Amino acid sequence: QKEVEQDPGPLSVPEGAIVSLNCTYSNSAFQYFMWYRQYSRKGPELLMYTYSSGNKEDGRFTAQVDKSSKYISLFIRDSQPSDSATYLCALGGSRVSGGYNKLIFGAGTRLAVHP
Amino acid sequence: GAGVSQSPSNKVTEKGKDVELRCDPISGHTALYWYRQSLGQGLEFLIYFQGNSAPDKSGLPSDRFSAERTGGSVSTLTIQRTQQEDSAVYLCASSSMGLAGTLIEQFFGPGTRLTVL
């Protein structure tokens, strides 16, 4: 079983839709939960992160962590064509997985927002 | 300020040849990471350098893979006797060193796309 599972998609939605992206994980020791966005032919860039459980909102983006279910989500409201990218979840802070500077990435979900 | 740079951006090689991939981290970043990204796969951790500490090589898939970091800055990932399954995008990231127990953001380069024929 992989430490982090993420549906690779692709996910295609119309402009203005609400998008829900999710990851599940198996190691309850993870403490940091991140979402990276990767445009085509570019390196990933950090979009949002949360520490422990709870929600975090930044503009049109909301990150949720449910540690009891080992489930993390990223919601995008009023999606735009410029949101078309691959979204990777990344988990860190687990000594079992190598400590605070080592991240475990999901496979990434490819999102396409069409006008 | 310059971000993480990698060279070459694309590399096509023949099976059995050796390749070297270069990473220039952000100035002042003490940590440097190499990842491999294959189609439909997540980022696969390869190796991690932190300051003068011994590198964490636990992700290197075989002894054909090696990496160096000279002078605490530039890093080179070497793949010997390349195989077709080595074809992937190789990403480098760097980060600063923070307080123990705090999350440190990793900044990624654009990657090197390696194709082994």
CATH of A4-114, one of 2.60.40.10, 3.30.530.20, 3.40.640.10, 3.10.20.600: 2.60.40.10
Q: Considering chain B, what is the average pLDDT of its residues?
A: 90
Number of neighbouring beta carbons within 10 Å of residue A75: 17
A13 part of contact set with chain B, CB < 8 Å: no
Q: Mark yes or no for CB contact B91/A93 under 8 Å.
A: no
Q: What angle do CA A64, A65, A68 make, to 5 degrees?
A: 145
Task: Answer yes or no: are the C-beta atoms of A32 and A25 closer than 8 Å.
Answer: no
Give the residue with greater pLDDT, B1 vs A58. A58
Mean pLDDT of B27-46: 88
Mean pLDDT of B72-97: 94
Distance from CA of B92 to the nearest CA of A (A): 9
Query: Which domains are seen in chain B, by residue range?
Result: 5-108 (2.60.40.10)
Residue B69 is inside which H or E element, if any?
A: strand B65-69
Residue B18 structure tokens:
């050796």
Question: From CA B113, how far away is CA B77, in angstroms rounded?
Answer: 13
Question: From CA B86, how far away is CA B54, in angstroms rounded?
Answer: 25
Q: Mark yes or no for CB contact B104/A45 under 8 Å.
A: no
**Cα B75 from chain centre:** 8
- In percent, how much of chain A has pLDDT > 90? 70
Highest mean pLDDT among A30-39, B23-32, B37-46, B84-93: B84-93
A45 part of contact set with chain B, CB < 8 Å: yes
Q: Comparing B31-35, B62-66, B98-102, which segment has the lowest mean pLDDT?
A: B98-102
Mean pLDDT of A47-75: 92
Q: Mark yes or no for CB contact A100/B56 under 8 Å.
A: no
A contacts of B90 (beta carbons < 8 Å): none
Q: List pLDDT tens digits, range B58-71.
A: 899 999 999 999 88
Among chain B residues, the shortest Cα distance to A10 is held by: B40
B contacts of A44 (beta carbons < 8 Å): 43, 91, 108
Please give the pLDDT value at position A95: 56
* String of DSSP letters for chain A: --SEEE----EEEETT--EEEEEEES-TT--EEEEEEE-TTS--EEEEEEESSEEEEETTEEEEEETTTTEEEEEESS--GGG-EEEEEEEE-BTTTTBTT--EE---EEEEEE-
